[in-house]
């Protein structure tokens, strides 16, 4: 019985990587006043950001419902697979809870669901590791032990152009949002154990990039044997700047650039970018 990986669309993996890993992606939804869209399927990121910056009313997001997961899980079981689902943190969405309900509804011990404690490339890195372990014949139990360790050592720093989207989505308090808007500072956030926290405010994007590089140095992180994701929303020049500065300052095993999709982008907003990696080998 082969192991099939399942995730939700907030992993925001590039399509070529999804195809390479053989991951089944179940989409969340983005809801504008005029209609709802399936993340990454009915609304591509570039279309989403165009709509976002001109929207009079900010969109909302909807989790995957348990019935959709039941359908996906059952089909994979019927096809002879064991299922391992890796999803965004339960603090950020009800999607993991929906997957758990679906697992319990089916009642099979061949379905396993895992809370990544993160989002976006943090989930993506775990999917990449799980896929690699599957190729070597590892058991689901061994894979889950490994990604649990990874989840405890994920690092992320993201510069946010404005905190209003995080405040609107309830991921930050209004007090935190107001503090970040003073003096046109660019807040830098981290996502740790399912919680979004502002850890620095930089004056402009150039200083934000410098701070991220200093943060890597001060953390003593050795990137020479690590995959680092450089993520950005709709500012590709900023993403390239982060990547190029990273490679100028550090020896990195692999850099993957990925665009932040519409569900995560609803909360992070346009103009943001940063890095994500796992601190352990």
pLDDT digits (tens, 9 = 90+) for 116-155: 999 999 999 999 999 999 999 999 999 999 999 999 999 9
- Res. 73 pLDDT band, cuts 50 70 90: very high
Shared-domain flag, residues 147 and 261: no
Sheet with 227-232, strands from edge to edge, namely 195-202, 186-192, 154-159, 273-278, 227-232, 254-259
Shared-domain flag, residues 140 and 165: no
**Residue 229 confidence (pLDDT) above 90:** yes
**Residue 175 confidence (pLDDT) above 70:** no
Tell me the C-alpha distance between 129 and 11, whole Å. 14
Shared-domain flag, residues 115 and 172: no
* Residue where a domain stops, chosen among 151, 184, 218: 151
Shared-domain flag, residues 253 and 201: yes
Mean pLDDT of the 103-118 span: 98
* Residue where a domain stops, chosen among 129, 151, 173: 151
Task: Tell me, yes or no, whether 43 lies in a domain.
Answer: no
Shared-domain flag, residues 177 and 261: yes
Mean pLDDT of the 31-43 span: 94
The confidence score (pLDDT) of residue 162 equals 79
Task: Tell me, yes or no, whether 147 lies in a domain.
Answer: yes
The CATH number for 23's domain is 3.40.50.10170
- Res. 156 pLDDT band, cuts 50 70 90: very high
Shared-domain flag, residues 135 and 223: no
The confidence score (pLDDT) of residue 168 equals 67
Shared-domain flag, residues 146 and 99: yes
In this structure, how many other beta carbons lie within 10 angstroms of the beta carbon of residue 61? 21
Domains in the chain: how many in total? Answer: 2
Task: Tell me, yes or no, whether 249 lies in a domain.
Answer: yes
The tens digit of pLDDT for each residue in 197-222 reads: 989 999 999 999 999 999 999 999 99
Task: Tell me, yes or no, whether 37 lies in a domain.
Answer: no
Share of the chain above pLDDT 70, in %: 93
**Residue 179 confidence (pLDDT) above 80:** no
Task: Tell me, yes or no, whether 197 lies in a domain.
Answer: yes
Mean pLDDT of the 185-189 span: 90
Share of the chain above pLDDT 90, in %: 84
C-alpha closest to that of 207 among 230, 235, 184, 179: 184
Task: Tell me, yes or no, whether 44 lies in a domain.
Answer: no
Instruction: Label residue 53 left, alpha or beta by phi (over 0 means left) and psi (-120 to 50 means alpha).
Output: alpha
**Residue 226 confidence (pLDDT) above 60:** yes
**Residue 164 confidence (pLDDT) above 80:** no
Mean pLDDT of the 263-276 span: 94
Shared-domain flag, residues 178 and 116: no
Q: Are 194 and 148 in contact (CB under 8 A)?
A: no
The CATH number for 220's domain is 3.30.1180.10
**Residue 267 confidence (pLDDT) above 90:** no
Task: Tell me, yes or no, whether 36 lies in a domain.
Answer: no
Task: Tell me, yes or no, whether 260 lies in a domain.
Answer: yes
pTM here? 0.92
Task: Note down the domain range covering 186.
Answer: 154-278
* Residue where a domain stops, chosen among 126, 151, 176: 151
């Amino acid at each position: 019985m082969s192991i099939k990986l399942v995730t939700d669309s907030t992993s925001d993996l590039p399509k070529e990587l999804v195809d390479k890993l053989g991951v089944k992606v179940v989409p969340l939804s983005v809801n504008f006043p005029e209609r709802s869209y399936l993340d990454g399927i009915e609304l591509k990121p570039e279309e989403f950001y165009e709509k976002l910056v001109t929207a009079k009313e900010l969109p909302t997001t909807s989790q995957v419902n348990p019935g959709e997961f039941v359908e996906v899980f059952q089909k994979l079981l019927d096809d002879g697979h064991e299922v391992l689902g890796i999803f965004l943190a339960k603090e950020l969405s009800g999607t993991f809870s929906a997957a758990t309900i679906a697992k319990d509804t089916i009642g099979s011990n061949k379905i396993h669901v895992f809370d990544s404690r993160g989002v976006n490339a943090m989930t993506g890195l775990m999917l990449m590791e799980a896929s690699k372990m599957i190729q070597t014949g590892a058991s689901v139990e061994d894979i889950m032990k490994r990604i649990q360790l990874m989840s405890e050592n994920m690092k992320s720093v993201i510069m946010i152009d404005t905190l209003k989207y995080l405040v609107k989505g309830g991921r930050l308090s209004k007090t935190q949002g107001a503090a970040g808007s003073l003096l046109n500072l660019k807040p830098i956030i981290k996502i740790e154990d399912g919680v979004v926290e502002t850890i620095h405010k930089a004056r402009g994007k150039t200083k934000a990039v410098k701070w991220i590089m200093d943060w890597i140095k001060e953390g003593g992180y050795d990137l020479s044997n690590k995959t680092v994701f450089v993520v950005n929303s709709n500012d590709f020049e900023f993403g390239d700047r982060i990547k190029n500065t990273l490679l100028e300052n550090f020896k990195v095993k692999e850099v993957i650039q990925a665009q932040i999709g519409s569900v995560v982008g609803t909360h992070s907003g346009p103009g943001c970018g940063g890095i994500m990696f796992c601190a352990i080998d």
